Structures are given as structure tokens and as C-alpha cells.
Structure 1
Amino acid sequence: MSERRTKKANGQWALADFKVGVDNVIFSVDTEQNRLLVLLVMRDKAPFLHYWSLPGTLVREGESLENAAYRMLAEKIRAKNLYLEQLYTFGGPRRDPRESAESYGDRYLSVSYFALVRFAEAELVADGVSGIAWYPMSQLPDLAFDHAEILQYGYRRLRNKLEYSPIAFEVLPELFTLGDLYQLYTTVLGEGFADYSNFRSRLLKLGFLKDTGVKVTRGAGRPAALYRFDAEAFAPLKDKPLVFV
């Protein structure tokens, strides 16, 4: 047995060998049905054959982690607008059944990424997978590996980002009503996160929503003003907590 697979004579363990993978937690918001969705793919090989999982890939020789994440996005979804950031690294022992308890083989490290895309613009790519689908966060199947843990970590990140960053405008159209914005927040954070009137008043006082002067009528209600997000006006508030809620 090789030295790296045995305990050294001086009492120290050999260094582990790793295979590095990237797993993407890809969220979207279906504003028509008020659903927060996550993209899942069905595995067509062991381990966890025919289980749903997060879209993932092993990092190729000479490929950066970020490029691997973007490659996996491009292989599974086509979208004009998306937000992507590194989420967390999951590397606990035995997180992958391919790690053999007897032989101390390669460890499987997952560097996860968190993405947000516009639902109306997103086109799923089924090439190379036996299944791909948007799943509501309220109706998740059993997931392969530790992907349920990775997904919940991503969900917490999404909720936190909504509180202090303009991430919501990554998935809203360029022009939107305050009702559209409030609906997105309630879909992700829940109905009780804030009263609409307080939400509206707070955001308008902050000054980074610009009234276009155009109104839109939906249903039997009164015409609603269309707004545009002003990134320059938001800049002084960047990274300050609880800007939006």
C-alpha cells in the first residue's frame, strides 16, 4: 500500500488527494405563480443513479473554478441575464460514496456556486442528462450526495442577499412596478417579512428607484407607476445591512 494511504511512522497522517468539483445552486422566481424555483438534474450514473441533484461537474485540467461554474451553467441553461457568486466549499470526509473507507482513496471536494436567473428568459438544455427541471423549493425531492445541505446553504445566502443587495433587479425586467418588487420579496422571504406600505415608503425614501413617468394597468386596479433601478444612486448604500427590508 502506498505511503499516502497509510499512517506515517512518526504518527502523522498522509495528506489527502482531492478531486475538485463545482455544484451550482441555480435559483429563479416564477412571479406569475409566486414560486421560488431551483434547477435540478437527474443523475444517469452511480452513485445515486436516478436521483435528482444540483447541476455539477468536475474541474478540468487548467480550468479555473469560476470557469467550471460558468461552463456548467452554459451546458444546462441559456439565459441572457444571470447573477453568479461563489457560495461555500463542502469537503467533509465520506460526503461522496466513491470515497472508500478501506482504501482511503480520493476525497471529493465540492466548491458550490450560487446563481440567480430570470425565469421568463431561461431556456433549459437537456443534452447529456436524463432529466432536468425547475423544482419549487416547497416540493423538493430527495437529493443525491449532500446536495440538500448545499441547497439550504444557498437558500440562506439568497435571503440574506435580498436584505442588503440589489440582487432582485437581476431577475426583474428593466421596468417594474413596486408591486412586482414586493411580490418577488414575499415569494422568497414569505408573506410576513414586511407590510407593503412600509416596504414601499422605505424604498422610495432611499432614492435608488426612479419613476419613469409611465403607468401600467393590470386587471381592475388603478394604474401603477413603472420604476427603474438606478445603480449609481444605490452605490452609497452598497453592502449596508437591511436596506430593503
Structure 2
Amino acid sequence: MHGKLQRKTGHLLNAEPLADFKVGVDNVIFSVDTDQNRLLVLLVMRHDAPYCGCWSLPGTLVRQGESLEDAAYRVLSEKIRVNNLYLEQLYTFGGPDRDPREEEDSYGVRYLSVSHFALVRFAEAELIADGVSGIAWYPLAQVPTLAFDHAEVLAYGYQRLKNKLEYSPIAFDVLPDIFTLGDLYQLYVTVLGEGFSDYSNFRARLLKLGFLEDTGNKTSRGAGRPASLYRFDADAFELLKDKPMVFI
């Protein structure tokens, strides 16, 4: 053990100088178009080098005296208006050579990206185009080539979204206040793909958890049997939130 420590200490003494970093934030903002059953991600077009004219995730460099969270909210406030936007930190991407500016900087500055993640309600999200061109919702299956390592950031965010659907009530952030179990199931299918669960098992599992309130009303769509309308009972979920749950 002592020999290993000596070798490691010697390696540190002969190591390269400590890196100098600039820190940015990049936001993976998802939404679900429930009318067309599409999972969407918010993209912006870059107007400056590097990658001028390329699509990217909304991002910015952190300013002096600014927290990571404030920087993440700042860049989004310039791109989108939405009620009750909640961001959570996703992951830090900091591999060497992830940003072409590192090669141009004579001081050897490295660029970190602290990514954030959110899911917003599509009908309530207003894109801001004041003096800016190139901001759009893209279906996940049709995302173009992205700048930097944003394809990797997006893939990581998509995995987080799928995981959160399994153990948290995040789906109710994008559904209307009143919905059918069929609506809820279709949202899961849209995000997770066909075959994640059959409808009967999905329905039974969600109702057993006890936080879906039957409104007593029904809706008729097409020639099928009228479907019951439900709402998410946040108070009932509050009693369960610290218990291990699997939604699907």
C-alpha cells in the first residue's frame, strides 16, 4: 500500500500544471406534444463561433458572481416563457477537447459544461424570438447534428427522463390537469417507446399507488366506451414520496 502511495505521489509531483477552467451551463429541456404524441427537445441556433450556424442546446458561460442555477435560468429566460419551470442539475461534462476554443486559447483554458434538465408543458411554453432567429422544438427522432458534445448531453438527459418516469410523478407536469388513463399511458409510450408495458398492467399498477383521483366524470372519444377522467392528487402523493415506488 505504501509503495502505491509513493508511486501516486511521485506521479502528482511530475504532473501537468493545474487546469484553468471556464464554466458554462447547457439545458436539456423536454416537452411532450400530447396531440401528436411526440417527444420534443428545445434547440437554438448558434450565431457565434465556434459552430456558427449549427443547432445546440440552450447554453451560456457563467458570469462573475453568478451561480450555476442562476446562469441556467438566465439563458432560458431569454429563450422561453413557461410557468413554474423547474431545473435540476444533470451532469458535468468536462473532457479535454470538448470545445474548439480550448485550442485557440493561448492560456490553455478548459471549458466545462454543467448540464441541467427539465420537462415542461408544451401548451404553456412560449418560445421567445425577440430579435433572435433559430429557436425551435425538435422531435427527438429528428434532431440534427448538434454543436460541441451536445448529442452526448442530450442522450444523458433522455436517459434521466426515462428513469424519472419510472419512480417519480414527472408525467403529471406535462399532462392537462384532467386526463384519462389512456392519455397517461400514451405519454409513457411516447417517451419510452412501444412495448414498455401492456395497458392493463400499467393501469392496475398506477391505480394501486393511490394518488390518482377519479373525478367521477367521463369523456367519450370515438365509438369506444366512455373513459373515466382522473386528476393527480399531490397531497396523496406527498404521503408516499419517501417510499420506494415503481410506476411502470
Same fold (TM over 0.5): yes
Which residue in the other structure is 1:126 paired with?
A: 129
Which residue in the other structure is 1:30 paired with?
A: 33
Using a 3 Å threshold, how does the CA distance of structure 1 residues 239 and 164 change in structure 2: closer, same or farther? farther
Task: Using structure 1 for the length normalisation, give the TM-score.
Answer: 0.91
Contact 1:20 1:111 in 2 (8 A): yes
Counterpart of 1:64, as a letter, is S
Q: Quote the Cα distance in structure 1 between the aligned partners of 2:86 and 2:173.
A: 7
User: Among residues 139, 148, 153, which one is paired with 2:142 in the alignment?
Assistant: 139
Percent identity over the alignment is 79
Which residue in the other structure is 1:186 paired with?
A: 189
Residues 1:152 and 2:155 are matched in the alignment: yes
Task: Using structure 2 for the length normalisation, give the TM-score.
Answer: 0.90
Cα offsets for 1:143-181 (capped at 9, x unmatched) = 000000000000000000000000001111111111111
Counterpart of 1:158, as a letter, is L
User: Among residues 195, 199, 224, which one is paired with 1:196 in the alignment?
Assistant: 199
> Is the partner of 2:100 in helix, strand or coil?
coil
Using a 3 Å threshold, how does the CA distance of structure 1 residues 101 and 48 change in structure 2: closer, same or farther? closer
List gaps (5 residues or longer) in structure 2. 1-12
Q: Please, what is the CA RMSD of the aligned residues?
A: 1.7
> Alpha-carbon deviation of 1:220?
2.5
User: Among residues 92, 95, 100, which one is paired with 1:97 in the alignment?
Assistant: 100
Write out aligned runs for 1:67-82 (5 A): 67-82=70-85
Q: Quote the Cα distance in structure 2 between the aligned partners of 1:75 and 1:45.
A: 16
Question: How many residues in Structure 1 have an aligned counterpart in Structure 2?
Answer: 236
Which residue in the other structure is 1:64 paired with?
A: 67
Counterpart of 2:122, as a letter, is F
Contact 1:216 1:226 in 2 (8 A): yes
Counterpart of 2:59, as a letter, is G
